[in-house]
Structure 1
Amino acid sequence: MNTFGKIFTLTTFGESHGAAVGGVVDGMPAGITIDTDFIQHELARRRPGQSHITTDRKEADQVELLSGVFEGKSTGAPIGFLVRNTNQHSKDYDSIRDLFRPSHADYTYYSKYGIRDHRGGGRSSARITLSRVVAGALAKLVLHQQGISIIAYTSQVGDIHLDGNYHNYDFNLIESNPVRCPDPEKAKEMEALIEQVKREGDTIGGVVTCVIKGCPVGLGEPEFGKLHALLGAAMLSINAVKGFEYGEGFAGSSWRGSQQNDVFLPANTTNQSSKPKAQSNHSGGIQGGISNGEDIYFRVAFKPVATLLMEQQTVNKEGEPITMDVHGRHDPCVLPRAVPIVEAMAAMTMLDALLISKTNRL
Structure 2
Amino acid sequence: MSANWGKNIELSIFGESHGKAIGINIGKLPAGLKIDMALVEKEMLRRAPGNNKLSTARKEKDQVEIMSGIQDGITTGAPLCAVIYNSDQHSKDYSLLETHMRPGHSDFAAYVKYHGYNDVRGGGHFSGRITAPIVFAGAVIKQILAQQGIYIGAHIKSIQSVQDRSFDETLDKTVLNQLSTQLYPVLDSTVFPLMEAIVGQARSQCDSVGGQIECGVIGLPAGIGEPFFDSLESTIAHLMFSIPAVKGLAFGDGFDLCRMLGSQANDAYYYEEGKVKTKTNHNGGIVGGISNGMPITFTVGIKPTPSIAQKQATINVESKENTEIEIKGRHDPCIVFRAVAVVEAMCAIAIYEAMGGNQ
The TM-score with structure 2 as length reference comes to 0.94
What do the CA deviations read for 1:147-170 (whole angstroms, capped 9, x no partner)? 000001101000001245455895
Paired residues of 2:153 and 2:180 also in contact (CA < 8 A)? no
Aligned to 2:161: 159
Aligned to 1:241: 246
Give the secondary structure class of the aligned counterpart of 1:193: helix
Cα distance change of structure 1 residues 176 and 65 upon mapping to structure 2, 3 Å threshold: closer
Q: 5+ residue gaps in structure 2?
A: none
How far the C-alpha of 1:277 sits from its partner, in A, is 2.6
**Superposed counterparts of 1:318-333, under 5 Å:** 318-333=319-334
Paired residues of 1:313 and 1:323 also in contact (CA < 8 A)? yes
Cα distance change of structure 1 residues 203 and 214 upon mapping to structure 2, 3 Å threshold: same
Give the secondary structure class of the aligned counterpart of 2:254: coil
User: How far apart in 1 are the matches of 2:358 and 2:185?
Assistant: 33
User: How far apart in 2 are the matches of 1:8 and 1:210?
Assistant: 21
Which residue type is aligned with residue 310 of structure 2? M
Give the secondary structure class of the aligned counterpart of 2:123: helix
1:174 equivalent in alignment to 2:176: no
How far the C-alpha of 1:145 sits from its partner, in A, is 0.4
User: How far apart in 2 are the matches of 1:251 and 1:329?
Assistant: 37
How far the C-alpha of 1:52 sits from its partner, in A, is 1.4
Q: 5+ residue gaps in structure 1?
A: none
Aligned to 1:352: 353
Give the secondary structure class of the aligned counterpart of 2:78: coil
Aligned to 2:9: 8
User: How far apart in 2 are the matches of 1:175 and 1:200?
Assistant: 31
**Superposed counterparts of 1:40-119, under 5 Å:** 40-114=41-115, 115-119=117-121
Aligned to 1:221: 226
Aligned to 1:313: 313
Which residue type is aligned with residue 21 of structure 2? A
Which residue type is aligned with residue 302 of structure 1? I
Give the secondary structure class of the aligned counterpart of 2:325: strand
The more displaced of 22-31 and 332-341 is 22-31
Which residue type is aligned with residue 30 of structure 2? P
1:232 equivalent in alignment to 2:237: yes
User: How far apart in 2 are the matches of 1:298 and 1:179?
Assistant: 19
Paired residues of 1:171 and 1:182 also in contact (CA < 8 A)? no
User: How far apart in 2 are the matches of 1:136 and 1:112?
Assistant: 30
Aligned to 2:263: 258
How far the C-alpha of 1:352 sits from its partner, in A, is 1.2
1:284 equivalent in alignment to 2:284: yes
Paired residues of 1:219 and 1:357 also in contact (CA < 8 A)? no
User: How far apart in 1 are the matches of 2:229 and 2:180?
Assistant: 36
Aligned to 1:208: 213
Give the secondary structure class of the aligned counterpart of 1:66: strand
RMSD in angstroms over aligned alpha carbons? 1.7
How far the C-alpha of 1:323 sits from its partner, in A, is 1.7
Paired residues of 1:153 and 1:182 also in contact (CA < 8 A)? yes
Paired residues of 1:179 and 1:335 also in contact (CA < 8 A)? no
User: How far apart in 1 are the matches of 2:60 and 2:104?
Assistant: 26
User: How far apart in 2 are the matches of 1:98 and 1:181?
Assistant: 41
Paired residues of 2:166 and 2:214 also in contact (CA < 8 A)? no
Which residue type is aligned with residue 158 of structure 2? Q
Which residue type is aligned with residue 155 of structure 1? K
User: How far apart in 2 are the matches of 1:322 and 1:56?
Assistant: 28
How far the C-alpha of 1:73 sits from its partner, in A, is 0.6
Give the secondary structure class of the aligned counterpart of 1:315: strand
The more displaced of 196-205 and 279-288 is 279-288
The more displaced of 14-23 and 35-44 is 35-44
Cα distance change of structure 1 residues 309 and 176 upon mapping to structure 2, 3 Å threshold: farther
Cα distance change of structure 1 residues 7 and 176 upon mapping to structure 2, 3 Å threshold: closer
How far the C-alpha of 1:95 sits from its partner, in A, is 2.5
2:188 is matched with which residue: 167, 175, 183? 183
The TM-score with structure 1 as length reference comes to 0.93
How far the C-alpha of 1:289 sits from its partner, in A, is 0.6
Paired residues of 1:227 and 1:291 also in contact (CA < 8 A)? yes
What do the CA deviations read for 1:293-346 (whole angstroms, capped 9, x no partner)? 110000000000101111111111133111211111000000110000000000
User: How far apart in 1 are the matches of 2:222 and 2:258?
Assistant: 25
